[in-house]
Amino acid sequence: MKILEHLLDNAIKFTKSGTITIGSATKSDSAEFFVKDTGIGIKDDSLDSIFKHFVQEDDSSTRAFEGSGLGLAIVKGLVTLLGGTVNVESVKGIGSTFRFVIPGTVFSKEREQQSDRPVESKTAHRHAILIAEDEDSNYRLMELMLKSSYEIIRAQNGLQAVDICRSREDLKLVLMDMKMPIMSGYEATREIRGFNKDLVIVAQSAYGLLGDRELALEAGCNEYLVKPISKERLLDFVGKITGRKRSK
């Protein structure tokens, strides 16, 4: 589960010595998971903002721990998407415990979907969307948001994105990460524009630095989004492009 992977990565990053404990408990209507560490802990006045995008407790230019501050924001996004809750208890210098609860209906619905999914849904027409994203967690989050309404295709680098766009004439939209290995999103977009002027390409970036939007548009992107993006906003945005209204 990607949620646990992010919480474990976070615990390992901030625990130089001591222990990291992971556990779970199931109830009739939910499942609870926790990751507990004996790391550096979090100050009380930072607890409310720790799940926000790009937030680390130490935001100084010389902070000791590297990272974009996206990990816990992604955890929050995934848990919320599943209808659950997440919280943290922490004491500075002692350690932290992250807990999240997922409704039991999530697991039962997943089993029902796997067993009862109609065969015709595989052949029904759905708009194809390419997600060009090398980070698994970012891709999985967007896939979860979109897969019920669209056919999702993935490229893990810019070169793959170009090849897929050449071979799939039915693509309706490309969600292009601008920083990818082998070939960047900027270069991939320019390559695609060489043979397809009409395909909608939306640039995505985890940083939103000044001037990035202009660079993306100059490369040939139609729009620029800063990620992570909420499910509602993403579905509304994609719906406008594909002509599909988001169900309430």
pLDDT tens for each residue of the chain, 248 residues long: 678 888 988 888 889 889 999 998 888 788 899 999 999 998 888 887 888 754 444 444 333 443 434 678 888 888 888 889 999 999 999 999 999 999 876 555 555 554 444 443 443 457 899 999 998 878 888 888 898 889 999 999 999 999 999 999 899 999 999 999 999 999 999 999 999 999 999 998 876 666 788 999 999 999 998 876 777 888 888 888 887 665 54
pLDDT value at residue 123? 38
Return d(Cα 204, Cα 192) in angstroms, integer. 16
Residues 157, 227 share a domain? yes
Alpha carbon separation from 24 to 1, 35, 107, 137 (Å, rounded)? 13, 9, 15, 21
Of 105, 136, 153, the domain-final residue: 105
Looking at the chain, list the stretches that DSSP marks H as alpha helix, in order from N- to C-terminal side: 2-13, 71-81, 104-116, 136-146, 158-167, 185-193, 212-219, 231-242
Q: Domain of 155?
A: 118-242
Q: Are residues 154 and 236 in the same domain?
A: yes
Shared-domain flag, residues 17 and 131: no
66 and 101 housed in the same domain: yes
Do 128 and 43 belong to one domain?
Answer: no
Enumerate the β-bridge partners of residue 177.
Answer: 204
Residue 21 Cα to chain centre, angstroms: 25
The answer as to whether 30 is a domain residue is yes
pLDDT reported for residue 109: 52
For residue 179, being part of any structural domain is answered with yes
Token reading at 12:
């390992």
* 39-to-15, 87, 90, 202, 245 alpha-carbon distances in Å: 4, 17, 10, 39, 46
Same domain, 53 and 162: no
Same domain for 140 and 182: yes
Calculate the alpha carbon distances from 7 to 51, 91, 168, 206 in Å. 11, 17, 37, 19
Q: How far apart are CA 166 and CA 218, in angstroms?
A: 21
Predicted TM-score (pTM) of the model is 0.56
Do 8 and 94 share a domain, yes or no? yes
- Claim to verify: residue 193 and residue 84 sit in the same structural domain: no
Q: Are residues 218 and 178 in the same domain?
A: yes
pLDDT at residue number 67: 40
Domain co-membership, 238 together with 194: yes
| Number of neighbouring beta carbons within 10 Å of residue 174 | 27
Report the Cα 212 to chain-centroid distance in Å: 20
- Number of separate domains in the chain: 2
Question: Which CATH number fits the domain that encloses residue 52?
Answer: 3.30.565.10
**Residue 96 carries which DSSP code?**
E
Residues 46 and 80 in one domain: yes
Residue 225 forms part of a structural domain: yes
